[in-house]
């Protein structure tokens, strides 16, 4: 947690607070929303002769490690971020980060920014955000099921094979299914010549 300590104050507008209450945010969604509000960049400028804080609303990253440091597990973190973007409109996705890269030196993180779309939540004017999963192409399960794959029974020792080409890699193997059918039909002709 020490690596992810931010000393900025968390200032929440009353409108955001009451809107979030009416949306029934989960505990994980509250933690992430408050952390996003804490990450806002601001500068002091003079407005009508008085110094005021003005938020610049720049993009920020929010990695899974930081979510775990706040006590939010990976699945809950993904769901909460997705709901804050798509369903509620508190966040916008500026850049979609890449898939998990364990051994890469440079990580490709998603970049978020706070949004005002939540103001039209529950009305016909509300525009849903977009947050897609990003995976390496080998991890898309439905696409992998659809493509043709080599039978895995080729390396098994005691199973029947569908064709002659699917022979075992070891010397101990049973008759292939096609051989068995061929042998039965040959014996059937010898024993029953009238058929």
Supply the pLDDT for residue 165: 58
Q: How far apart are the first and last CA of the chain?
A: 82
**How confident is the model over 12-43, as pLDDT tens digits?**
889 999 999 999 999 999 999 999 999 888 78
Higher per-residue confidence, 46 vs 172: 46
Name the phi and psi angles at 16, rounded to 5: -65, -45
Per-residue pLDDT band for 7 (boundaries 50, 70, 90) equals confident
Contact predicate 105/63, CB 8 Å: no
pLDDT at position 188 over 60:
yes
The pLDDT of 136-148, averaged and rounded, is 62
Contact predicate 28/38, CB 8 Å: no
Contact predicate 78/112, CB 8 Å: no
Q: Which of 4-8, 17-21, 84-88, 169-173 has the lowest mean pLDDT?
A: 169-173
Supply the pLDDT for residue 180: 59
Higher per-residue confidence, 114 vs 57: 114
């Amino acid at each position: 947690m020490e690596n992810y300590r931010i000393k900025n104050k968390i200032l929440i507008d009353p409108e955001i607070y009451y809107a979030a209450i009416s949306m029934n945010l989960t505990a994980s969604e509250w933690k992430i929303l408050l952390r996003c509000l804490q990450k806002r960049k601001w500068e002091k400028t003079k407005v009508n002769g008085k110094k005021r804080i003005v938020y610049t609303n720049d993009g920020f990253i929010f990695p899974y490690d930081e979510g775990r440091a706040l006590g939010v597990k990976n699945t809950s973190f993904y769901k909460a971020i997705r709901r804050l973007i798509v369903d509620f409109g508190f966040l916008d996705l500026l850049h979609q980060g890449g898939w998990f890269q364990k051994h890469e030196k440079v990580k490709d993180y998603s970049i978020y920014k706070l949004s005002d779309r939540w103001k039209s939540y529950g009305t016909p004017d509300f525009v849903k955000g977009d947050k897609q999963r990003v995976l390496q192409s080998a991890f898309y399960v439905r696409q992998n099921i659809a493509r043709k794959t080599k039978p895995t029974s080729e390396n098994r020792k005691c199973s029947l094979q569908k064709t002659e080409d699917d022979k075992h890699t070891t010397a101990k193997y049973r008759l292939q299914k096609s051989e068995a059918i061929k042998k039965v039909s040959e014996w059937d002709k010898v024993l029953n010549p009238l058929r």
